[in-house]
Amino acid sequence: MPVVREEPFQYKAPFSPIDVIEEYTRDARFIENGRLITKPAMTDIEHLFFEGIGTLQAFNSDGLRSLLKTVNIPNMVEKTLRYPGHIEKISLLRDMGFLLNKTIKIKEQEINILDFTSKILIDKWKLLRDDKEFTVMKIIIEILKSNQTINYIYDLIDYTDTQNGISSMARTTGYTATAALNILSEGLFDLKGIIPPEKLAINDKIYNYMFNYLSERNVNYKFSIVKN
C-alpha cells in the first residue's frame, strides 16, 4: 500500500491490475470447524490496528491455497488488507458489472469488460518510481492449552528501500525466493517433486536460515506470544 493515501482508491500496485482484481472476484476458501467453506471475496470485513500505520480493513480473500490440504488445523482464514474505504469502492465497481470477465458490443466494437476496467485502473494504481509504499502482514496462530488461549503472532511491516530503489513488495517476495534457492543449492532441502512452500518449515535449519536471510536484508518479523 502507498504511504501517501490518494483518493479514490488509496492503493498502488507494482504488478498487473488483473492480478489484483482477481483477489476481489475469486471466491475465498477457508476452513471452519474442520470443513472447507467458500464465501464470496470481500466479505467478513473487520478493522485491525497496526502500530505506525493505523487502522486497516481486512476482508476475505483466497490466499490459503495448499494450506487447505497440507495442514490439519480446524479453523483457518486468510484476509487481505487495505486502507479503510477502499473495499467499498471496489464493491461498487463489482456491483455495477465493471469486474465481469465478459465481452460486450459497443458501436459494433467488441470489448471485454475486465480488460477495459484494468486499462483504466493501471494508471490509477501504477506505482511510480518515487512512490513510497509498504507491505504489512500479521499471522496469528491461536491454540487452547490447559484452558488458556495462547496466541503466537508474527508481525511484518516493511517499507520501500529508497537507497536502492527496491519496493517492499519486491523485498518481501524476492528475497524469500532467493533464500529458497540458496536453501536448495546448499542441500538443506532434498525432498523431490512438487513441494508446497510450507514444507520448508518442517526443518529447524531451513526455518532459521530463511528468517536470518531476511533479517540480514532488514526484512524483520516481530514474534510475540500473548496469553489470555
- The answer to whether residue 14 scores a pLDDT higher than 80 is no
Residue 31 β-bridge partners: 36, 76
Q: Assess contact for 47 and 57: CB atoms under 8 A.
A: yes
Rounded to whole angstroms, how far apart are CA atoms 124 and 126? 6
pLDDT in tens, 164-203: 999 999 999 999 999 999 999 999 998 889 999 898 888 9
- The answer to whether residue 211 scores a pLDDT higher than 90 is yes
Q: Note the pLDDT of residue 204.
A: 93
Rounded to whole angstroms, how far apart are CA atoms 140 and 204? 20
Q: Note the pLDDT of residue 16.
A: 81
Q: Note the pLDDT of residue 18.
A: 85
Q: Cell numbers 493505523 correspond to what residue? A: 54
Mean pLDDT of 133-160: 95
Mean pLDDT of 84-104: 95
Q: Note the pLDDT of residue 13.
A: 85
- The answer to whether residue 162 scores a pLDDT higher than 80 is yes
Q: Note the pLDDT of residue 17.
A: 83
- The answer to whether residue 59 scores a pLDDT higher than 90 is yes
DSSP secondary structure, the chain, as one string: -BSS--TTT---BSS-HHHHHHHHHSPEEEEETTEEEEE-TT-S-EEEEETTTEEEEEEE-S--TTHHHHS--S-B--EEEE-TTHHHHHHHHHHTTTT---EEEETTEEEEHHHHHHHHHHHHHB--TT--BEEEEEEEEEEEETTEEEEEEEEEEEE-BTTTTB-HHHHHHHHHHHHHHHHHHTTS----S---GGGGGGSHHHHHHHHHHHHHTT--EEEEEEE-
Q: Note the pLDDT of residue 227.
A: 93
| Domain ranges (residues) in the chain | 1-128, 132-228
Q: Note the pLDDT of residue 125.
A: 92
Stated pTM of the model:
0.90
The CA radius of gyration of the chain, in Å to the nearest whole number, is 20
Rounded to whole angstroms, how far apart are CA atoms 39 and 26? 9
Rounded to whole angstroms, how far apart are CA atoms 88 and 129? 28
- Indicate the pLDDT class of residue 70, thresholds 50, 70 and 90: very high
Rounded to whole angstroms, how far apart are CA atoms 153 and 161? 25
Kindly report the backbone phi and psi dihedral angles of residue 198, in degrees, each rounded to the nearest multiple of 5, phi listed first: -65, -20
Q: Note the pLDDT of residue 190.
A: 86
Is the CATH number of domain 1-128 2.40.40.20?
Answer: no
Q: Which of 76-85, 103-112, 190-199 has the lowest mean pLDDT?
A: 190-199
